[in-house]
Chain A
């Protein structure tokens, strides 16, 4: 059974940093494309970033490019999202996803002073 468990969310001040983690199990993590998607309170879904398996080519939404970094540790089946220079508009639930088929439960990030 595929399991994805996000962690690392919380309250952070504007301009601060946070690192989200996603622990994966139940599949061969290294070969799969992994994605972060976020959802601001009461809003729709927004694609944030994707990292391909077996090589790790990365892609970012314009809204986070230069501030967020996606990475993976294939030896430990972990996905990460390093978020720097956080803004109020980054406040959202952040989901990690394996392709399109499997999603974690999400972790809430609140950027506020």
Chain B
């Protein structure tokens, strides 16, 4: 099974900050990686697919990069509505797997 290791698991940031979340795969997954945002009590929302393609309607301050085993999600100019949990997921092979998540909280 492909393991995804997200880091950090928790980060504290301020409005206007730039934050970067890393997702490392235990083996190469090409660009079959998605990023989700989840707010408390709500279903996850797709942010990025194919490692770097922004889903329709997602603000351009979100960006993704990477290929193979190392991926990043970057949020520039962090907004109040961005404080949430973020998860990566690999779609390269079954069983599909998620990273452990990163909780972004207000400093």
List residues of chain A with CB within 8 A of the CB of B43: 95, 103-106
Which residue of A45, A59, A104 contacts B95 across the interface (Cβ within 8 Å)? A59
What is the minimal beta-carbon distance from A65 to any residue of chain B, in angstroms? Answer: 9
Check: B84 CB closer than 8 A to any chain A CB: no
Please report the C-alpha to C-alpha distance between residue A104 and residue B96 in the assembled complex, in whole angstroms. Answer: 19
Main secondary structure of the interface of A (DSSP, over half): strand
Check: A100 CB closer than 8 A to any chain B CB: yes
Say which size band chain B's interface belongs to. Answer: 20 to 34
Which residues, 44 to 68 on B, are CB-close (under 8 Å) to A? 44-46, 49, 55
List residues of chain B with CB within 8 A of the CB of A32: none
Check: A1 CB closer than 8 A to any chain B CB: no
Contact (Cβ within 8 A) B87 A47:
no
Contact (Cβ within 8 A) B87 A61:
no
What is the minimal beta-carbon distance from A109 to any residue of chain B, in angstroms? Answer: 15
Contact (Cβ within 8 A) A44 B87:
yes
Which residues, 7 to 50 on A, are CB-close (under 8 Å) to B? 35, 37, 44-47, 50
Which residue of A45, A50, A106 contacts B87 across the interface (Cβ within 8 Å)? A45
Say which size band chain A's interface belongs to. Answer: 10 to 19
List residues of chain B with CB within 8 A of the CB of A60: 95
Contact (Cβ within 8 A) A59 B49:
no
What is the minimal beta-carbon distance from B38 to any residue of chain A, in angstroms? Answer: 8
Please report the C-alpha to C-alpha distance between residue A106 and residue B95 in the assembled complex, in whole angstroms. Answer: 21
Q: Closest residue of chain A to B38, judged by CB?
A: A45
Q: Given A59-B94, A59-B95, A100-B34, answer yes or no on A44-B46 (Cβ-Cβ < 8 Å).
A: no
Q: Closest residue of chain B to A104, judged by CB?
A: B43
Contact (Cβ within 8 A) B49 A47:
no
Interface residues of B (CB under 8 A from A): 1, 34, 36, 38, 42-46, 49, 55, 85, 87, 89, 91, 94-101
Return 13 A-B CB contacts under 8 Å, by A number: A37-B44, A44-B98, A45-B36, A47-B95, A47-B96, A47-B97, A47-B98, A59-B95, A61-B95, A100-B89, A103-B43, A105-B42, A105-B43
